């Protein structure tokens, strides 16, 4: 498999600022692969993925317009762990395969950032050259979800509680961005991260596919960027 020059796994709790960091990294030249977007794409109307979801969960999973009925599916799998496992068993392999295809397509000289909300929960830290974690105060994240996404406070807290803890994500991080100031600060910190951790890897003549630099994060200090 062709591997990118640098393969970054980006993660963080819900509403922590991952997409903002990803957008800044994209502006700096990274190719961003967004697991959330892929998980929607693999069950797009008319897709094989959606056909299999309909087969696994029944016709109520598919709305009249041919799209996946997310509310109905959410209800079905919320109360039924077996149905949830069936759904994940369809979607996760498709997302992984599509992610791999995009990483290969990015080519050997690219910087690929994979935005994977559940990177820690799904034990994928070792798949990346570098794991970048965005952390924000849970109270701030609850406030964002309530204010911007119309969630109830209880829902927002339940979403946070269902994910890994900040401590678990920190343990998996090679670099930690603490998002505790404004958006412009977050973007500036992201640019610092690029300068410190990415730009040096872009120097040098060879790409991996030509026998050049190899990845690996062993011994990399956990660090605030």
Under the rule (CB under 6 A), what is the footprint of ligand ATP? 12, 14-20, 117, 144, 148, 179, 181-183, 186
Longest distance between any two alpha carbons in the chain, whole Å:
55
CA distance linking residue 222 with residue 15, whole number of Å: 22
Q: Is the CB of 52 or the CB of 138 nearer to ligand ATP?
A: 138
Q: Which residue's CB atom is positioned nearest to ligand ATP?
A: 19
The pair of three-digit structure tokens given for residue 179, joined into one six-digit string = 């998002």
Handedness of CA 149, 151, 154, 155 (dihedral sign): negative
Q: Is 85 annotated as a binding residue?
A: no
Nearest to 107 by CA among 37, 7, 201: 7
Q: Is 20 annotated as a binding residue?
A: yes
Nearest to 107 by CA among 3, 211, 216, 220: 3
Q: Is 107 annotated as a binding residue?
A: no
Q: Is 19 annotated as a binding residue?
A: yes
**Main-chain phi, psi angles of 15, to 5 degrees:** 60, 30
Nearest to 10 by CA among 218, 212, 197: 197
Find the shortest distance in angstroms from Cβ 118 to ligand ATP. 10
Find the shortest distance in angstroms from Cβ 58 to ligand ATP. 28
Q: Is 18 annotated as a binding residue?
A: yes
Find the shortest distance in angstroms from Cβ 46 to ligand ATP. 26
Q: Is the CB of 25 or the CB of 106 nearer to ligand ATP?
A: 25
Enumerate the β-bridge partners of residue 33.
114
Find the shortest distance in angstroms from Cβ 209 to ligand ATP. 31
CA distance linking residue 202 with residue 11, whole number of Å: 22
Find the shortest distance in angstroms from Cβ 51 to ligand ATP. 27
**Main-chain phi, psi angles of 202, to 5 degrees:** -85, -15
Q: Is the CB of 2 or the CB of 183 nearer to ligand ATP?
A: 183
Q: Is 190 annotated as a binding residue?
A: no
Q: Is the CB of 9 or the CB of 17 nearer to ligand ATP?
A: 17
Q: What is the separation of C-alpha 165 from the centre of its chain, rounded to a whole number of angstroms?
A: 16
Find the shortest distance in angstroms from Cβ 23 to ligand ATP. 8
Q: Is the CB of 182 or the CB of 221 nearer to ligand ATP?
A: 182
Q: Is the CB of 16 or the CB of 110 nearer to ligand ATP?
A: 16
Nearest to 69 by CA among 45, 36, 89: 45
Which residues sit in the known binding site for ATP? 15-20
Which residues sit in the known binding site? 15-20
């Amino acid at each position: 498999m062709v591997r990118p020059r640098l393969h970054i796994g980006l993660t963080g709790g819900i509403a922590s600022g991952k997409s903002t960091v990803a957008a800044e990294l994209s502006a700096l030249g990274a190719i961003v692969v967004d697991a959330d977007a892929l998980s929607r794409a693999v069950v797009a109307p008319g897709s094989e993925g959606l056909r299999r979801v309909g087969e696994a969960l029944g016709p109520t999973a598919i709305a009249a317009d041919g799209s996946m009925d997310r509310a109905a599916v959410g209800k079905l799998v919320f109360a039924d762990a077996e149905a949830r496992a069936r759904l994940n068993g369809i979607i996760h392999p498709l997302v992984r395969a599509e992610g791999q295809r995009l990483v290969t397509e990015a080519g050997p000289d690219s910087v690929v950032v994979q935005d994977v909300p559940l990177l820690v929960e799904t034990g994928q830290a070792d798949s990346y050259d570098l794991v970048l974690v965005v952390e924000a105060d849970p109270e701030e994240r609850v406030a964002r979800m309530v204010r911007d996404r119309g969630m109830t406070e209880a829902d927002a807290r339940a979403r946070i509680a269902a994910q890994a803890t900040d401590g678990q994500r920190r343990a998996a991080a090679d670099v930690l961005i603490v998002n505790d100031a404004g958006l412009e600060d977050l973007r500036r910190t992201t640019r610092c991260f690029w300068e410190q951790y990415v730009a040096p890897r872009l120097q040098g003549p060879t790409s991996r596919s030509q026998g050049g630099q190899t990845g690996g994060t062993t011994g990399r200090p956990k660090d605030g960027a």
